[in-house]
């Protein structure tokens, strides 16, 4: 018996601590809402809600704990009613309840719903009792029908919005553009500077000409006809292409022919 009482006491203490925690955070939140609403940000409001949710969850856990005695079975009886001002009660209730009199006790120790609520509930249950089981069944069916069609509508709406958003999203990129841009950045495809001769253009063309086809042709001729005169004769029609770039090539071939000479003879 004593053990049970002790248990009740400790669990009540934890309950009171939890509830006062919740009360404090509520007070702080309300204070913020009333006084700092101008600079209150949405994330901090959400933080406050999260805090409250967490605290309510802990309270629920405490209530559902195995060690928590069945509070329903506890009875509270007002032992003393007095019309005089009670300082102790004032302190405990933070000034909300100044007296513990017959006027306020029914409100504060009430375990039933408010009279108006009780009245409404009574009306509803008497109405429910009046209808026959068949009518009730019919009403249940029509209710289910309504719910189902509503659900279908919602699902259909969701699917449609998915499809339409997909269709929209398809337009946010174009694979051809991706390829064009990647090619442009990677090796300059489609950038106008690439084809028309830029600063390096003609020089590059001249180089390939000089080191590629012309010297090869010239040295071929030289191999077959060593005399200088003939080389010149042959060189003229070749030069009909008429590049100034011919000059370095002929110098080059001359050097080559000079170095070739000893081996030929």
Contacts with another protein, residue ranges (CB under 8 A): 166, 169-175, 177-194, 198-200, 203-204
Per the CB < 8 A criterion, the answer to whether 211 and 248 are in contact is no
> Of 246 and 252, which CB lies nearer to another protein in the complex structure?
252
Give the residue with the Cβ less far from another protein, 37 or 187: 187
Cβ nearer to another protein, comparing 235 with 248? 248
Q: Which H helix or E strand runs over 254?
A: helix 246-264
Nearer to another protein, 36 or 162 (CB): 162
Burial group, residue 218, by CB count within 10 angstroms (0-12, 13-18, 19+): buried
Provide the minimum distance between the beta carbon of 231 and another protein in the complex, in angstroms, as a whole number. Answer: 24
Among residues 74 and 171, whose Cβ is nearest to another protein?
A: 171
CB of 247 to another protein, least distance (A): 15
Report d(CA 175, CA 182) in Å as an integer. 11
Burial of 179 (0-12, 13-18, 19+ CB in 10 A): exposed
CB of 178 to another protein, least distance (A): 4
With respect to another protein, which residue has the nearer C-beta, 65 or 207?
A: 207
Q: Is 125 helix (H, G, I), strand (E, B) or coil?
A: helix
Dig out the tokens for 63 from the structure. Answer: 């209530």
Q: In 3D, which of 259, 252, 242 has the Cα closest to residue 218?
A: 252
In angstroms, rounded to a whole number, what is the distance separating the alpha carbons of residues 146 and 187? 64
How many other C-beta atoms lie within 10 A of the C-beta of residue 225?
12
Least distance in angstroms from the C-beta of 181 to another protein: 4
Q: Please state the closest distance from residue 203 (CB atom) to another protein, in A.
A: 7
Shortest Å distance, C-beta 187 to another protein? 6
Which tokens hold the place of 68?
């928590």
């Amino acid at each position: 018996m004593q053990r049970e009482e002790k248990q009740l006491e400790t669990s009540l203490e934890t309950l009171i601590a939890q509830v006062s925690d919740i009360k404090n955070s509520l007070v702080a939140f309300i204070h913020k809402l009333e006084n700092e609403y101008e600079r209150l940000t949405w994330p901090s409001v959400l933080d406050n809600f999260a805090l409250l949710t967490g605290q309510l969850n802990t309270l629920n856990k405490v209530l559902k704990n195995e060690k928590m005695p069945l509070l329903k079975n506890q009875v509270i009886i007002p032992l003393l009613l007095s019309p005089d001002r009670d300082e102790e009660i004032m302190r405990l209730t933070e000034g909300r309840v100044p007296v513990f009199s017959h006027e306020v006790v029914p409100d504060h120790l009430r375990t039933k719903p408010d009279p108006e609520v009780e009245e409404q509930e009574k009306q509803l249950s008497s109405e429910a009792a009046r209808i026959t089981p068949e009518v009730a069944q019919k009403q249940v069916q029509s209710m289910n029908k309504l719910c189902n069609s509503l659900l279908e509508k919602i699902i259909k709406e969701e699917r449609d919005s998915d499809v339409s958003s997909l269709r929209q999203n398809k337009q946010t990129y174009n694979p051809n553009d991706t390829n064009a841009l990647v090619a442009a950045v990677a090796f300059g495809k489609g950038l106008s500077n690439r084809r028309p001769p830029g600063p390096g253009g003609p020089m590059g063309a001249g180089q390939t000409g000089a080191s590629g086809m012309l010297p090869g042709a010239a040295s071929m001729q030289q191999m077959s006809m060593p005399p200088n005169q003939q080389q010149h004769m042959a060189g003229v029609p070749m030069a009909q292409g008429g590049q100034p770039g011919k000059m370095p090539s002929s110098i080059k071939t001359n050097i080559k022919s000079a170095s070739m000479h000893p081996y030929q003879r």
